[in-house]
Structure 1
Amino acid sequence: MPLEDHKIACFIDFENLALGVRDTNYKTFDVQLVLARLLEKGKIVARRAYADWERYGAYKRPFHEAGIELIDVPLRGYSGKNSADIRMVVDALDMCYAKGHVTTFALCSGDSDFSPLVGKLRENDKYVIGLGVKNSTSELLVSSCDEFVFYEDLIRSVQEAPPLVGLPKKQKECFALLADSMKALMREGKEVLWGSMIKQTMQRKRPEFNEEYFGYSTFSALLEDAQKHQVVKLRRDQRSGTYVVTGFDAGSGETAPEPAHAEPAAEAKPAEKARRPRRRSRKTAKPASEAPPAPDAA
């Protein structure tokens, strides 16, 4: 299914994630990292987080700013956590049956109790993405999902982002979004990165994105400037005439097809114009400067 066709419903078992993050070296749980990864996969049409929010008041504001609906399930004795789990399961199944346009469910939890829910969603032809903290995630849940993302990997991807030095702040912001979107498509296994595909991913990550805000009249102009500043490498598609991004400037492995298109064309034209049969046998002599002296020597 193309990325733009994924309609994602995100359900967050926040207490499970908060406890998992607390037991690691990470200070707080950054929900923006989770949403950014999901936006790489499609459009998020529903966002809900379940917890006793009186206990996690510090997270209310960032979750509200991220457009997440907070479902408050107060902790009562020993049944509080189970109540949150049950509410989340009921809501997910209700959406599965009532909202046919939702194609993908993102369950953010490491609790094995959600494995039956995963099975029921997949039974109804839904794609299920799981997300949890590695040390507090059940192997049963991981194996039940179509795809599982560990929170630690989201942190690591941020730490490994290449620095963009010597650029104005606005331009750096633009190129950072470009690079992040390219890496997102690469993670999804996209071998050919069309310019239009990259722009769609950038707009999913930042709905307000517009190349004109960054001073470019077209997205092609943005890509050309990114190549000029050695951020990406481009080539023109011969059929459509549009840009294809072959990789980051630091990685030269993907640029091999470019000279392969240019060199044969350059060698073929002189041979056709000359139309001298005896030079066809000397085609192995690649340097063009050696071809004219050959008749004199004869």
Structure 2
Amino acid sequence: MNLHSQVKTNRCQPLVNLYWDLQNVSIQKSAHLLLSFAQTQGHLLAQNVYYNSQCQNQAQAKKPLSRLGFDCRDVPCPLKDSADHQLIAHCLKDIHSDRSPDIIILVSGDGDFCPLVRNLQSLDKKVIIFAQLGNVKQKLKDLVQDDFYFVDQLPKLVQVKTNPQTTAVKAQLIYEEAIDCLRNAIQTALNQGQRTSLSQIGKLMRHNPHFPKCSKFPLVCKSDGTTFSKLSKFVNAAISEGIVYAKTTGKEPEFFLSERNRLLV
């Protein structure tokens, strides 16, 4: 069974994708606020920025945005709207994938995105748009109505109080996806001849592309509302379900996949 196919029904938060047209909206200094806002909307799956490296001001933005966790997509083409076409293509591909987002945040005021927004709305997707003052088409704004914002509203929307580079929203991970990360981490450690201790498993889980980029262990959510805020509690739940088992061979226990679950890696 493909566990990702259960994402639509087994999760505690909506799935969110963010697509940013950097040529149309240049707000690098507020990028962290944009991420904070996206995280308040649900479980952030992707944060893509589309830029043209042939434009010096856009090329210079890549490094700081990458540090924040943005996936910077270079579209070095002189043709008009080339970045827009790439953004639209990626968005439609994501929408029809097995990790289809429920909410799409579009950072652009370009009227060329109107057909995309209508398409998304026809699929019952929520679309939120951010644009800059004086650089937005009214027809695009009218499509989303109350879900339209100017980027100047970001500080108020995320209610930053002290450190603007942090967010009070704890990163979250769907239980089924966390189990996938756990299986892969254990199998990777065994393949590399490493111990499968709790700390080592935790490190390897963070290398999984589906694992949230956060300093602390994310909040793992089950469909029945049960949550696990610590790796040890999450692993204990996996043991109780027969997914893994513990074996003490030294100072600390190691964890191994049950025979049935080894076949799923």
TM-score (norm 1): 0.49
User: Residue by residue, what CA displacement relative to the aligned partner does 1:82-131 show, whole Å, maximum 9, x if unpaired?
Assistant: 11111111111111112354211111101111011000011112111111
Of 2, 5, 29 in structure 1, the residue corresponding to residue 13 of structure 2 is 5
User: Residue by residue, what CA displacement relative to the aligned partner does 1:190-211 show, whole Å, maximum 9, x if unpaired?
Assistant: xxxxxxxxxxx3446994358x
Identity of aligned residues (%): 22
How far apart in 2 are the matches of 1:16 and 1:109?
6
User: Residue by residue, what CA displacement relative to the aligned partner does 1:6-59 show, whole Å, maximum 9, x if unpaired?
Assistant: 1111111110002xx5xxxxxx54211111111111111012111102422221
Shift of 1:151: 0.5
Aligned match of 1:168: none
Aligned match of 2:115: 116
Q: Which moved more, 1:62-71 or 1:6-15?
A: 62-71
Structure with the greater alpha carbon radius of gyration? 1
How far apart in 1 are the matches of 2:215 and 2:161?
24
Shift of 1:148: 1.7
Alignment of 1:56-75 (within 5 A): 56-75=58-77
Task: Name the CA shift for 1:4/1:62 in 2 (closer, same or farther; >3 Å).
Answer: farther
How far apart in 2 are the matches of 1:207 and 1:70?
19
Gaps of 5+ in 2: 1-8, 173-211, 218-228, 230-265
Alignment of 1:23-172 (within 5 A): 28-55=28-55, 56-76=58-78, 79=79, 81-145=80-144, 147-155=147-155
Of 20, 25, 28 in structure 2, the residue corresponding to residue 17 of structure 1 is 25
How far apart in 1 are the matches of 2:48 and 2:98?
15
How far apart in 1 are the matches of 2:170 and 2:12?
12
The residue identity in structure 2 corresponding to 1:71 is R
How far apart in 2 are the matches of 1:66 and 1:162?
19
How far apart in 2 are the matches of 1:75 and 1:100?
29
Aligned match of 1:208: 215
The residue identity in structure 2 corresponding to 1:150 is F
Q: Aligned-pair RMSD on alpha carbons?
A: 3.2
How far apart in 2 are the matches of 1:161 and 1:83?
35
The answer to whether the 8 A contact 1:17-1:29 is kept is: no
How far apart in 2 are the matches of 1:139 and 1:4?
35
The answer to whether the 8 A contact 2:69-2:213 is kept is: no
The answer to whether the 8 A contact 1:12-1:49 is kept is: yes
Dislocated runs of 4+, deviation >6 Å: none
Task: Name the CA shift for 1:101/1:75 in 2 (closer, same or farther; >3 Å).
Answer: closer
How far apart in 2 are the matches of 1:67 and 1:203?
13
The answer to whether the 8 A contact 2:52-2:59 is kept is: no
How far apart in 1 are the matches of 2:17 and 2:49?
11
How far apart in 2 are the matches of 1:71 and 1:162?
31
Identify which of structures 1 and 2 has the higher relative contact order when contacts are C-alpha pairs closer than 8 Å and 6+ apart.
2
3-state SS of paired residue (2:61): helix
Task: Name the CA shift for 1:129/1:4 in 2 (closer, same or farther; >3 Å).
Answer: farther
The residue identity in structure 2 corresponding to 1:58 is Q
Shift of 1:149: 2.3
More helix by share: 1
Gaps of 5+ in 1: 22-27, 164-172, 182-200, 211-218, 220-298
